[in-house]
């Protein structure tokens, strides 16, 4: 149970104390921090005794004074020092259970950690929380959290999460609210399971929980070719996706009239499936769940169109995209030197069509299928693992660049970068 330092910020307190990468923080003023939340509160004192273990195993007690608001200036291997809380559920729709076998173990970690929910927006089911966890949430006022609801029907939720603890959702949300905690919610919608009347009930129940409930995102279930679970999951098609959109739009109109905001947001995939236009930007309010893929397409379009676009005709560009988002890109860019290349996801299965789940192998195969010479290859940054230059199949960005040299390969994060790259401004 220790905080392993991986980086020291220049000019920071940590540098002044001569801490280095590889040092471990064992205790602060005699207390062992469980995570960076604990550490932050413990370091709020002005007089500090810091117990460090160096890489060679030697321990050192460092005593110093600091300003109350002065930060340490160190980055850690993990935000949690006592290990990530694993999810004990076996949800019928769990995407982690659908990844390919023999992939690196970190991709198979199912976290259900309230600390990662607070720090990074990870969704939690609440079923793995202990009384001590609720105490810490209240003590540190960890708000907002991100909660996977899926359904407010207790029996159905227990069935979908495959744990009787799933039925406790109402009481657990009550406990969060008594602690003054706000939360965003999510529904993974499964056809003929928690949709139709069940979805009406869930939306109505979550709406009642304002102001603690801040938003509700509804995303369609995804299924890869590696799924082995016998539970009969059904995916949405064009007709059923359009039905969900119409159902939710009625709630959205009412919410905007009564609340002044949409509150309920649909995942982009529903609009792709139904072949319908995305709502206007104002319907996404301040994009409260964009990291959950809610409104990413509309936001990308708005960023791209924020200034007049003029493609650089001197460069030949291949733009890599999932098959669904490629249609959007083709509407944005009409230039003979720019080719939008939709990549079929053979790794996870052809029905998985989002850009963020493209693998390096599939991208390389798609590019090699064309003998066209290109100066620039643009890839979605979301296809790379967070903080790394590695695709989900362990192909590295460096390998991709080496394969197609001398063409440049650039990861693109948003519509602004996309436009600038095509204009030749960030080559």
Q: Would you list the DSSP string of 42-56?
A: HTTSSEEEEEEE-TT
Q: Is the torsion defined by CA of 203, 205, 211, 212 positive or negative?
A: negative
Q: Going by DSSP bridges, is the β-strand pair 376-380/317-322 parallel, antiparallel, or unpaired?
A: parallel
Looking at the structure, do residues 220 and 319 belong to the same domain, yes or no? no
Looking at the structure, do residues 276 and 346 belong to the same domain, yes or no? no
pLDDT at residue 110 in the model: 79
CA distance 400 to 390: 10
Q: CATH code at 207?
A: 3.20.20
Among the listed residues 86, 88, 98, the one whose alpha carbon sits nearest the alpha carbon of residue 233: 98
Among the listed residues 98, 113, 115, 188, the one whose alpha carbon sits nearest the alpha carbon of residue 151: 188
Extended strands (E) in 107-235: 145-148, 183-189, 213-220
Confirm if 203 and 250 have CB atoms less than 8 A apart: no
Q: Which of 29, 46, 76 is the last residue of a domain?
A: 76
Whether 90 is in a domain gets the answer no
CA distance 48 to 61: 10
Whether 88 is in a domain gets the answer no
Confirm if 60 and 54 have CB atoms less than 8 A apart: yes
Looking at the structure, do residues 281 and 357 belong to the same domain, yes or no? no
Whether 81 is in a domain gets the answer no
Question: Using omega within 30 degrees of 0 as the cis cutoff, is the peptide bond preceding 129 cis?
Answer: no
CA distance 326 to 341: 7
Looking at the structure, do residues 103 and 251 belong to the same domain, yes or no? yes
Residue 299 is inside which H or E element, if any?
helix 296-304
* Adjacent-strand bridge partners of 338: 317
pLDDT at residue 427 in the model: 55
Q: Which of 245, 277, 294 is the last residue of a domain?
A: 294
Looking at the structure, do residues 71 and 40 belong to the same domain, yes or no? yes
Burial of 426 (0-12, 13-18, 19+ CB in 10 A): middle
Among the listed residues 222, 221, 124, 229, the one whose alpha carbon sits nearest the alpha carbon of residue 166: 124
Looking at the structure, do residues 341 and 409 belong to the same domain, yes or no? yes
Whether 87 is in a domain gets the answer no
How far is Cα of residue 390 from the mean position of the Cα atoms in its chain? 17
- Tens digit of each residue's pLDDT, the chain (427 residues): 679 999 999 999 999 999 999 999 999 999 999 999 999 999 999 999 999 999 999 999 999 998 888 899 999 999 999 988 888 888 998 887 777 766 655 555 678 999 999 999 999 999 999 999 999 999 999 999 999 999 999 999 999 999 999 999 999 999 999 999 999 999 999 999 999 999 999 999 999 999 999 999 999 998 888 888 889 999 999 999 999 999 999 999 999 999 999 999 999 999 999 999 999 999 999 999 998 889 999 999 999 998 888 877 888 999 999 999 999 999 999 888 999 999 999 988 888 888 988 999 999 999 998 877 899 999 999 999 877 899 988 899 999 999 999 999 999 999 999 999 998 876 5
Task: Determine the Cα angle at 155 with ends 223 and 216, to 5°.
Answer: 60
Q: Is the torsion defined by CA of 274, 279, 283, 288 positive or negative?
A: positive
CA distance 241 to 18: 57
Q: Map residue 237 onto helix, strand or coil.
A: coil
CA distance 354 to 26: 42
Looking at the structure, do residues 284 and 308 belong to the same domain, yes or no? no
Looking at the structure, do residues 269 and 352 belong to the same domain, yes or no? no
Looking at the structure, do residues 252 and 394 belong to the same domain, yes or no? no
Provide the residue count of the chain: 427
Range of the domain at 373: 303-422
Looking at the structure, do residues 178 and 243 belong to the same domain, yes or no? yes
Whether 218 is in a domain gets the answer yes
Q: CATH code at 328?
A: 3.40.50
* Adjacent-strand bridge partners of 217: 186, 265
Looking at the structure, do residues 161 and 282 belong to the same domain, yes or no? yes
Q: Going by DSSP bridges, is the β-strand pair 213-220/183-189 parallel, antiparallel, or unpaired?
A: parallel
CA distance 199 to 153: 10
Q: Which of 273, 294, 315 is the last residue of a domain?
A: 294
Whether 311 is in a domain gets the answer yes
Whether 85 is in a domain gets the answer no
* Adjacent-strand bridge partners of 385: none
Among the listed residues 195, 299, 217, 205, the one whose alpha carbon sits nearest the alpha carbon of residue 262: 217
Residues in CB range of 254: below 8 A, 6 or more apart: none
Q: Look at the chain and report how many structural domains it folds into.
A: 3
Whether 181 is in a domain gets the answer yes
pLDDT at residue 103 in the model: 63
Q: CATH code at 26?
A: 2.30.42.10
Looking at the structure, do residues 159 and 287 belong to the same domain, yes or no? yes
């Amino acid at each position: 149970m220790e905080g392993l330092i991986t980086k020291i910020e220049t000019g920071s307190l940590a540098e002044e104390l001569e801490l280095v990468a590889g040092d471990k923080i064992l205790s602060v003023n005699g207390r062992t921090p469980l995570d960076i939340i604990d550490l932050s509160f413990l370091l709020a004192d002005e007089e500090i005794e810091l117990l460090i273990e160096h890489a060679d195993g030697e321990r050192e007690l460092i005593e110093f004074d600091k300003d109350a608001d002065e930060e340490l200036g160190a980055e850690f291997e993990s935000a949690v020092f006592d290990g990530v809380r694993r999810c004990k559920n076996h949800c019928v729709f769990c995407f982690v259970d659908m990844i390919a076998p023999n992939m690196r173990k970190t991709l198979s970690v199912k976290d259900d950690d309230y600390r990662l929910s607070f720090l990074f927006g990870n969704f939690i089911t609440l079923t793995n929380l202990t009384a001590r966890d609720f105490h810490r949430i209240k003590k540190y006022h960890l708000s907002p959290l991100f909660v996977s609801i899926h359904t407010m029907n207790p029996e159905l939720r227990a069935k979908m999460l495959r744990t009787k603890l799933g039925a406790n959702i109402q009481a657990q949300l009550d406990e969060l609210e008594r602690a003054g905690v706000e939360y965003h919610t999510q529904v993974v919608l499964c056809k003929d399971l928690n949709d139709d009347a069940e979805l009406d009930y869930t939306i109505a129940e979550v709406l009642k929980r304002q102001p603690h409930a801040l938003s509700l995102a509804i995303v369609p279930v995804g299924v890869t070719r590696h799924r082995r679970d016998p539970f009969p999951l059904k995916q949405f098609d064009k007709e059923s996706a359009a039905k969900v959109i119409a159902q939710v739009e009625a709630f959205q109109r009412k919410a905007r009239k009564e609340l002044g905001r949409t509150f309920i947001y649909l995942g982009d995939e529903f609009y792709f499936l139904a072949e319908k236009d995305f709502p206007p930007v104002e319907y996404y309010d301040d994009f409260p769940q964009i990291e959950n893929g809610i409104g990413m397409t509309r936001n990308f379009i708005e960023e791209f169109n924020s200034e007049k676009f003029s493609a650089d005709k001197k460069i030949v560009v291949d733009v890599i995209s999932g098959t669904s988002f490629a249609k959007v890109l083709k509407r944005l860019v009409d230039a003979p030197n720019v080719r939008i290349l939709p990549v079929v996801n053979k790794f996870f299965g052809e029905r998985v069509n989002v850009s963020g789940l493209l693998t390096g192998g599939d991208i390389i195969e798609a590019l090699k299928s064309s003998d066209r010479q290109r100066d620039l290859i643009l890839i979605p940054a979301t296809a790379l693992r967070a903080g790394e230059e590695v695709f989900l199949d362990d192909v590295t960005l460096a390998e991709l660049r080496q394969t197609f040299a001398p063409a440049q390969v650039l990861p693109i994060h948003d519509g602004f970068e996309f436009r600038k790259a095509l204009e030749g401004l960030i080559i």
